[in-house]
Amino acid sequence: MLSYANLQPSYQMNFAEIIQELFELGESWVFRMYKIQGWLISYSGLYKKTYDFVHSQHLYEDSDGSTIRLPPCGLPTNEEIFLSIYASLNGILELHANETYFENEMVEYYKIKNSPSDVKNWIVKNEDLGAEQYVCFLIDHLDYDENGHEEHLIVYIHDLKEPVIYINRQDFKNTIAFLEVFNELYWVQENLT
């Protein structure tokens, strides 16, 4: 077993307060991306330090000299919850980065939608985003009410019992519009065949 010189991080933070600060940015658990981005920027340095500390724990030295990180036992700590929230929100922020691109692509699509050859070129141009990077976006993130109507986007947080973070749908309106058109053309109509 590896020995630890210090089992406490070199910094002291109240992670419960930091997490509470995030939840206070939302209205009825619905958040705007600009507020999430601000929170992520504010705590990016702390995330890196905490990540390094948490991932230096639970190490086991095997008989062959290799080091293995064992999964933690018990309930997640506030540090682990912070890391999970931060990573999930950072992931949704990365997906949001293409919102302007999708807006421009929808303008382009409506200009060329009556030209089958131009539509095929448009699909090919966007195939990596639509059929690879964002292929599960609508399934993973759209939230539906009891009547099957889309409401907001949901962000699942691994270490929380229930997902409690919803993103205002308007922040991803171009992504959703693009994917609905792309999916219809690519998967349903199979316009590349």
- Please give the model's pTM, rounded to 2 decimal places: 0.86
Alpha helix ranges (H) inside the chain: 15-23, 33-42, 44-54, 78-96, 99-112, 116-128, 137-141, 173-183
Question: Does the pLDDT of residue 185 top 50, yes or no?
Answer: yes
Query: Could you say which of 96, 127, 145 is where a domain stops?
Result: 96
Q: Are residues 110 and 184 in the same domain?
A: yes
The token pair that represents 98 in the structure block: 């293409």
Q: How many domains does the chain have?
A: 2
Q: Are residues 149 and 108 in the same domain?
A: yes
Local structure of residue 4 (DSSP, 8 states): -
Tens of pLDDT, residue by residue over 79-106, are 999 999 999 999 999 999 999 999 999 9
Structural domain harbouring 23: 15-96
Please tell me the predicted confidence (pLDDT) of residue 2.
Answer: 44
The alpha carbon torsion through 75, 77, 80, 84 (nearest 10 deg) reads 60
Please tell me the predicted confidence (pLDDT) of residue 192.
Answer: 76
4 in any annotated domain: no
Q: Are residues 104 and 59 in the same domain?
A: no
Query: Do 190 and 127 form a contact (C-beta atoms < 8 A)?
Result: no
Q: Which residues contact 11 (CB under 8 A, 6 or more apart)?
A: 46, 49
Q: Are residues 104 and 87 in the same domain?
A: no
Q: Are residues 106 and 36 in the same domain?
A: no
- pLDDT over 90 for what percent of the chain? 65
Query: Do 29 and 155 form a contact (C-beta atoms < 8 A)?
Result: no
Average pLDDT over the chain, rounded to an integer: 89
- pLDDT over 70 for what percent of the chain? 90
Residue 47, CA atoms < 13 Å, CB-side half-sphere:
17
Local structure of residue 76 (DSSP, 8 states): P
Query: Do 94 and 36 form a contact (C-beta atoms < 8 A)?
Result: no
Banded model confidence at residue 113, pLDDT cuts 50, 70, 90: very high
Query: Could you say which of 31, 62, 96 is where a domain stops?
Result: 96
The token pair that represents 163 in the structure block: 């997902």
Query: Could you say which of 51, 66, 96 is where a domain stops?
Result: 96
64 in any annotated domain: yes
* Distances 74 to 47, 57, 153, 159 between C-alpha atoms, Å: 22, 14, 30, 11
Please tell me the predicted confidence (pLDDT) of residue 173.
Answer: 97
Q: Are residues 183 and 110 in the same domain?
A: yes
